[in-house]
Structure 1
């Protein structure tokens, strides 16, 4: 091979090496670019994931599951026998993401076709808020409505499952159980009590969302509640009263076994509770209770030692104090013993007993029975008593027979239980209470001797006095009637009364106190035109006792021939 050929061969090899070097350089550049691209891509992904993670802790997390923020679980509420009074069920609710709504008008048209009760204008406004990612459309809809909305195929429309409170007993125990709002939070009755004491704290901590909670058992007996409500409703209709109320209390424990206030409401339709006449008259209303209050005055006088069952008072003439005159309704116009003052419901005799005790001691006695304090129960609804600040002689006398002082009827019922249970004032409760709890809470307010004398007088009044129509053979019912003229425009009305019967059974060994009240009852043919308590609340109480005594396990006994045999007291 010539020198020229060797030179040409070397040049060709050099050119091949140059080309290979250039290709290798280009490949390295491409690989570098690929690496940079992959790094940038993964960097974007990592940044995006970080952003999403941060957003999960912000408000959008609630938007992703709106039910999480409002689906509060609540415990079942049971009566003393395990009957369900309140429970949760899961129901669908509809919401929308306005940013995903394509055609607002079309969406409104389709939604209102399924939910005709919705305000179309308000819905259009809500769906037009493109800066929002969540608005409620309709909460607590039916499964059928949910299916229809789903079939409508509206972009941006979604559904969540929420807890809805239901009340199987309906109106029967509405004032006790109470009700909840749309967020399943208690706003009345025992429902609110649960939130105020412990359930609200669990919800605030993000707990008790959907898990099942331990049921809450009440002292209420739904059977007794139904019987009382049924009889009071019948009496409202019979005597054309505007309202009625009643309660049954275990005098040994203070447990409220039944409490009725009519008109009532359906807790499944909470808006009904807003009507003015649907208040709980037992705990919220305050009233002058008329002659039923004479039971407390009599107990005060006997317990003071200044009056005995053998004491007598001149009821021949009215009492005149300044420009006021105190007289008797169908008076006996003679001297009356204490039992006669009680069974004839003498204002004159009762006023003399109060005067014998004195104003200061009278005030102290009412304080001891709790009449100066707002009644406290698990129910948040309670009224404050209205008692005059300054007492003149006439003030004390009128208060002695139930005028000039207004109290919640439940307060009088609790004090009435103390008159017959051996003299112990036990705070009321709507929850079961143990013997140990009773012993810790009970307070002696009158002697056992005075309590025995009050049982005797109350039984005597049913056997011989104004409470005859409350008598139930075998159950030794005792009680005191009360007919109070209502105050209208600052004056006592001559044709509107509030009637009460405060009673207990059996007086031989009291188990329960029963209080019945009728607001503005009217006389009828059967009552010969009379509208006083002996003609309406007394017989109503008798019918209630006849129905509830067997339910409460109180056996009938051979009744004494007369009231004097009820206790070993003579006069």
Structure 2
């Protein structure tokens, strides 16, 4: 019995021992399963948070960075700029700009290599550096076309994103570059009209209409380029102005640039220089228009007044001579048509320093032009208006103004004496546009006759256009290099208007350092180069602007014209 009991007890103990072992293993298994479940849950939470961080938080952060940097997330929609006839000069096109969240890019080297297969103009090292920067926002490329955007998207690169953008487009390239100016990569105006009216244009509310006529602009640029080529000039500039309104129909400065390709300009800043508004020059004999009008307006002389032009005229150690010397007296008309320096000096001396200074001031020669461009230069004149200034200014030296200032003044003199404010905006009502009287109507009439005779029988003969009443004045000034004037290095100017019986349009044409070429007989002065360029412009623009041809004015038909000039005189040279 005892043995059986003991055996039974042993069996029972073994059974409990096995049950305890099973329970122990089960407890361990449950614990392990729970721990494994916790690990999976933690891993899921971590992965989920990481995905949320990458896809939501950091992408949102990139967008925030884009918004904070130059308003990248807000596209500046600029309004169009059109010419006086509604032709588009500047517009904007929808583009896409490419950026990256470098923290999301998995393989920067592979991503950079792929991007260059679509955008080969990018620099691999530069792109790689940006993608390895660990920044939430880095620009990769700006202003991509929809086609390029689609090609980049097909690459399937994580961390690469696009933002809608706009690019400024200049459909006519360099045609009106110095007037239009250009914008920076973020669509803000940097120069020209783009800068002057930046706030108005970014409002995008309406088109900005200019006074320019695209057709006349093309004619002027075309003829100036031909003039540079023919006369081997280093540059040229020109303006066409509506005498009655002050509107600028065309303005060209050469060399110029394509505002669509501003990055290609590099260090060549000369192409950005607007010679018409920033260029401040001594204008040479074209200033004799001002000098003659001053004398007539002063009442101290008239068209029949005579002055001894026997030379030379001595100013200190300097001798002033005429290109075509004459012994004896000239009437005012002779002095103008001969372009006599000595006669101009005698006229100015009669007027005096104070009157001359005040007359120049009334024409706006002592302050920058009020034109709607930021690139406007300040005239240069001596603070001490001495007798030397009086003398040299009478024939175009000692006082420097911009071509724009000179044409504005002359347009006022021949516009019945009313000088209009120059403008690049279309004028709808000329009667309300700002103007100021600078000379009397009598002085204006006399100057129109003199300008017409200068072209008819004077040094401006090569500016004649059959069927049109063209008037004008040559002006050839030696260029100042260092502290001295360089001989045979000229700035040749021809200032003209038509039709002279009732002037509608004024032009100024300037060739920089033209050369004597075949057919000019060794001369490089304005009558041989700037004058024929002027004729070409007038001939072409008259047809475009529908200016009807008129019969030539005969001197006999002008009041007292026969008394103004000796008809037997036919001046030679310039």
1:143 Cα deviation from its structure 2 partner: 3.3
Residue 327 of structure 2 is aligned to residue 324 of structure 1? no
Residue 292 of structure 2 is aligned to residue 298 of structure 1? yes
How far apart, in 2, do the equivalents of 1:334 and 1:464 lie?
21
2:394 matched residue in structure 1: 400
Q: Secondary structure of 2:475's partner? A: strand
How far apart, in 2, do the equivalents of 1:448 and 1:53 lie?
76
Residue 440 of structure 2 is aligned to residue 447 of structure 1? yes
Q: Secondary structure of 1:313's partner? A: strand
Q: Normalising by structure 2, what TM-score?
A: 0.84
Q: Secondary structure of 2:427's partner? A: coil
2:110 matched residue in structure 1: 106
The Cα offsets for residues 333-357 of structure 1, whole Å up to 9 and x where unpaired, read as 3311100000100000001111110
1:337 matched residue in structure 2: 331
Q: Secondary structure of 1:220's partner? A: coil
Q: What is the number of residues matched between the two proteins?
A: 507
Of 174, 186, 189, the match for 1:186: 189
Residue 96 of structure 2 is aligned to residue 92 of structure 1? yes
Please, which runs of 5 or more residues in structure 2 have no aligned partner? 1-51, 565-574
1:142–1:302 distance in 2 versus 1, CA, 3 Å = same
1:418–1:64 distance in 2 versus 1, CA, 3 Å = closer
1:407 Cα deviation from its structure 2 partner: 0.9
How far apart, in 1, do the equivalents of 2:57 and 2:165 lie?
27
RMSD: 2.3
1:65 Cα deviation from its structure 2 partner: 11
How far apart, in 2, do the equivalents of 1:152 and 1:69 lie?
24
1:69 Cα deviation from its structure 2 partner: 3.1
Answer whether contact 1:293 1:402 (CA < 8 A) is retained.
Answer: yes
Answer whether contact 2:307 2:346 (CA < 8 A) is retained.
Answer: yes
Q: Spell out the pairing of 1:502-517 with structure 2 (5 A cutoff).
A: 502-517=495-510
Of 481, 492, 499, the match for 2:485: 492
1:273 Cα deviation from its structure 2 partner: 5.4
Residue 513 of structure 2 is aligned to residue 520 of structure 1? yes
How far apart, in 1, do the equivalents of 2:453 and 2:67 lie?
71
The Cα offsets for residues 282-339 of structure 1, whole Å up to 9 and x where unpaired, read as 0011111100011001100110001100001111221112212211012233311100
Q: Secondary structure of 2:259's partner? A: coil
1:141 matched residue in structure 2: 144
How far apart, in 1, do the equivalents of 2:359 and 2:527 lie?
27
Comparing 296-305 with 389-398, which one deviates more in the overlay?
A: 389-398
1:103–1:231 distance in 2 versus 1, CA, 3 Å = same
How far apart, in 2, do the equivalents of 1:58 and 1:483 lie?
64
Of 450, 462, 467, the match for 2:460: 467
Answer whether contact 1:508 1:567 (CA < 8 A) is retained.
Answer: no
1:243–1:272 distance in 2 versus 1, CA, 3 Å = farther
Q: Normalising by structure 1, what TM-score?
A: 0.85
Answer whether contact 2:240 2:251 (CA < 8 A) is retained.
Answer: yes
1:374 Cα deviation from its structure 2 partner: 0.8
Answer whether contact 1:374 1:384 (CA < 8 A) is retained.
Answer: yes
How far apart, in 2, do the equivalents of 1:521 and 1:565 lie?
38
1:114 Cα deviation from its structure 2 partner: 2.4
1:566–1:218 distance in 2 versus 1, CA, 3 Å = farther
Q: Spell out the pairing of 1:161-560 with structure 2 (5 A cutoff).
A: 161-196=164-199, 198-199=200-201, 202=203, 208=204, 213-272=205-264, 275-278=268-271, 279-435=273-429, 438-439=431-432, 441-560=434-553
1:34 matched residue in structure 2: none
Answer whether contact 2:516 2:524 (CA < 8 A) is retained.
Answer: yes
How far apart, in 1, do the equivalents of 2:155 and 2:462 lie?
65
1:60 Cα deviation from its structure 2 partner: 4.5
Of 151, 154, 169, the match for 1:151: 154
Please, which runs of 5 or more residues in structure 1 have no aligned partner? 1-48, 203-207
The Cα offsets for residues 156-199 of structure 1, whole Å up to 9 and x where unpaired, read as 01112211111111111111111111111111111111215x34
The Cα offsets for residues 411-462 of structure 1, whole Å up to 9 and x where unpaired, read as 10100101110111211000012336x4451110110100111000000100
The Cα offsets for residues 100-132 of structure 1, whole Å up to 9 and x where unpaired, read as 1111111122222322222322222222222x3
1:394 Cα deviation from its structure 2 partner: 2.2
Answer whether contact 1:503 1:514 (CA < 8 A) is retained.
Answer: yes
1:53 Cα deviation from its structure 2 partner: 12
How far apart, in 2, do the equivalents of 1:542 and 1:565 lie?
24
Q: Secondary structure of 2:412's partner? A: helix
Answer whether contact 1:219 1:432 (CA < 8 A) is retained.
Answer: yes
The Cα offsets for residues 507-549 of structure 1, whole Å up to 9 and x where unpaired, read as 0000010110000001112111111100011111111111101
How far apart, in 2, do the equivalents of 1:387 and 1:249 lie?
25
1:488 Cα deviation from its structure 2 partner: 0.8
1:267 Cα deviation from its structure 2 partner: 1.1
How far apart, in 1, do the equivalents of 2:124 and 2:374 lie?
38
How far apart, in 2, do the equivalents of 1:63 and 1:546 lie?
54
Q: Secondary structure of 1:249's partner? A: strand
